[in-house]
Chain A
Amino acid sequence: MTDSALSKAKPLPSVNAKPFASAIKRIRRGWQLYLLLALPLAWLFIFCYYPMYGAQIAFRRFLPGDTVWNAPWVGLAQFERFFKSHMFWTVIRNTITISLYQLIVGFPFPILLALSLNQVRRRRFSQSVQLITYAPYFISTVVIVGILIQILDMRRGPLNMALGLFGVAPIHFLAKPELFPSIYVWSGIWQSMGFNSVIYLAALTTIDPELHEAAVMDGASRLRRIWHIDLPGIMPVAITLLILNMGGILSIGFEKAFLLQNLLNLTTAEVISTYVFKVGIQGGFTNYSYAAAIGLLNSLVGLVMIVLARSISKKLTGYDLW
């Protein structure tokens, strides 16, 4: 940004000699820009940064009648309580299981869809495929879970009906803890495969068509061209996304897990975000500090992971995330 600013300024040596004066000048010249930015910045500080400051409640013991600011400090006691809790390993294990499952199984689908769509010559066909596969992305989580409950229903769901044709006894899918990760991950693939393929389709359009022309002349088949040209072409994007997703390994979203939970599958369905909600909000405000500590821990680990992921991705692909 300084480059462009300097190039616009008059080519005088005094520009560098008086950086302070020039900064004041630029700020005064751009007052209308700051006025536009004022409201969004105010919002940012109130709704994003103030809660970060308020996260100090995790180091206090907040009791009924206290305010956030006068509750007594207890250091890391809330964190210790979580580490010693019988739920600690359960929620960590469940969260990581679902994340890894999602990462490994879910990752190839958008790539496969994009590569395959890229080979279709008839525009009408490829557009209809895109229209349909993107659609579930816009459906709400509540409705997705509602549809899942119907499809997986024990007495009249089409899946059990179809299995029944092969002589399989009805399965109560949502009551089986061992099936919860699969239901979570495969419904996620169903919902977002199309939407996630968009970024790969975009990457495919940036591949130099001359590469393909040259390969065709050398007699390369379509499959070979996909393998040797398309796949390497989208690799940087794929690796970047993969690593980014690894950074988010402890952040399983609240809504779907919460809505799919029931008393029977809770042993594998309780993840960090739902646990924080149950302890903190449903548990009443004696637990605010404890729940805040779990949430803060989750945020901190997430931050560390993403910073690590960024440096790994920078080393591997040479692409800097920010």
Chain B
Amino acid sequence: MVTQIQHEEDGSTSAVRRQARIKEARGDRFFAIVNTTFLVLLTLSVLYPLLFVVSASFSSADAVMAGKVFIFPVDFTLEGYKAVFNYPRIWVGFTNSLFYAVVGTTVNVIMTLIAAYPLSRRDLFGRTAFLSLFLFTMLFSGGLIPSYLLVKQLGLMNTRWALIFPQSLSVWNLLITIAFFRTSIPPEMLEAAQLDGASDFQHFFRIVLPLSSSIIAVISLFYAVSHWNQFFSALLYLGRAELHPLQLILREILVENTVDLTRMGDIREMVRRQGLIELLKFSSIVVASVPVLLAYPFVQKHFVKGIMLGAVKG
């Protein structure tokens, strides 16, 4: 502001300056337009595949088979969703995944909190050593085969716990939580609590936990999404079909193209069924992804904060 006024008073150069400013402003306006266009195009290209899938899921089987769907649904129908409802495997997978996500996330959050609290306490004797033990596992692992043999040895093969116990804790989420405890819980509270004769348990349960709802929301989201989306562990450990999570069943439908066509009718019926199977692919994608995508905008605000915390050195 000050310099601006000075320029105005400085008669001879002010016209030149003003012209330069207008030119700059024009340049900036041009930049803003280019910038906005770039972002819009980028966003549309991210959005398009999702839009295509959703639109195809609401289109008729004929339109999907003929490749008529581009952006909007063609011959709007709910046939695809009826097919999902009539395909029992999807519901088996859905309930199993719900179990893995709910139980797994509960275990995860408890484990993370009880590990993060002591590790965030600077007066914990041996803190650096414990922390290093956790950190080292981010850099090195025994590999697939030894972990697989361990699960076998523990008798977890073909049990639901094979998807819960080996992944009870993620060191990355642990670090985020430690960073949160360090930066968001004022250390004076610990001193005050200790002066009042409170034990560590009391400080943890009565003071720290009630202040931690935002970090609990963030790690719950991360854990729940990773359980819901988990595919590899189920492929490794679960042979029994009734334990399969949704992702394994989606793989049968989407990638391996093995949908059970038990009741074969005449040719016309078969063609119709083939169309339904194609339609089922789109509607099952939507059904499987909706729970995750619904949860995420609610925690988005927290979750950006969570990643930023992760960026702060633990």
Contacts and interface: CB of A to CB of B under 8 A. Distances in A.
Interface string A256-296: 00010000000000000100110011000000100110011
Interface stretch (A87-95, A144-152, A176-184): A144-152
Interface residues of B, number: 93
**SS of B interface (majority):** helix
B31 A223 contact: yes
Interface string B85-123: 000000000000000000000000001001101110111
Contact of A53 (B126, B130, B142, B225): B142
Contacts of A26: 123, 125
A48 B135 CA distance: 11
A43 B118 contact: no
A131 B146 CA distance: 40
Interface stretch (A10-18, A97-105, A111-119): A111-119
A116 B115 CA distance: 39
A222 B297 CA distance: 31
B43 A51 contact: no
Interface of B: 3, 20-21, 24, 27-28, 31-32, 35-36, 38-39, 42-43, 45-47, 49-50, 52-53, 56, 64-67, 69-70, 111, 114-115, 117-119, 121-128, 130, 133-135, 137, 139-150, 165-166, 168-169, 199-201, 204, 225, 228-229, 231-232, 236, 247, 250-251, 253-255, 281-282, 285, 288-289, 292-293, 296-297, 300, 304, 307-308, 311
29 contacts: A1-B122, A1-B127, A33-B117, A36-B118, A40-B111, A40-B169, A49-B133, A51-B141, A51-B147, A52-B141, A55-B146, A57-B145, A113-B39, A117-B39, A131-B300, A135-B293, A140-B229, A140-B231, A142-B231, A147-B53, A161-B70, A223-B31, A237-B311, A259-B231, A276-B143, A280-B148, A292-B144, A299-B140, A302-B140
Interface of A: 1, 4-5, 8, 23, 26-27, 30, 32-34, 36-37, 39-41, 43-44, 46-55, 57, 68, 113, 116-117, 119-120, 125, 128-136, 138-143, 145-147, 149-151, 155-158, 161, 190, 193-194, 198-199, 202-203, 217, 219, 221-223, 237, 254-255, 259, 273, 276-277, 280-281, 288, 291-292, 295-296, 298-300, 302-303, 306-307, 322
